[in-house]
Amino acid sequence: MSYLYVLCTILLTVYGQIVIKWQVNIAGEMPAEISEKLHFLMKLVLNPFVLSGLAAGLVASITWMAAMTKLQLSHAYPFMSLAFVLVIICSSIFFNEPITTPKVIGTALVIFGLAIGSQG
């Protein structure tokens, strides 16, 4: 069950990042004026999709706490690097961000590191 909590943490974290990026893309660039920046950010924070992303972060923290009741931090935390891998894939799918050779090599190193780091 602890690994299911870790998986939930990862998926909720990725969801939060993707949905917030999606809504920021729709909102556009941050205004130059300080008063407009505050209004811009408050409008984003009150956006229902952004709120769902923030709520996902909160629930991810709760599922992480549940995972920590059974797993050692040094064993479980390397799995969080899967969020990095999933964000790269999702950002390519949803935002047409390029998956470059350095990203592929870096992702492969992350997965390799996860395989090694989770052994002990």
pLDDT per residue as tens, the chain (120 positions): 889 999 999 999 999 999 999 999 999 999 999 989 999 999 999 999 999 999 999 999 999 999 999 999 988 888 898 898 999 999 999 999 999 999 999 889 888 887 887 776
Q: Which residues contact 111 (CB under 8 A, 6 or more apart)?
A: 81, 85
What is the end-to-end Cα distance of the chain in Å, rounded? Answer: 19
The pTM is what? 0.87
What whole-number distance in Å separates Cα of residue 26 and Cα of residue 95?
A: 11
- Residue 92 neighbours by CB distance under 10 Å: 13
- Crossing angle of helices 48-68 and 2-27, rounded to 10°: 160
The pLDDT value given to residue 21: 97
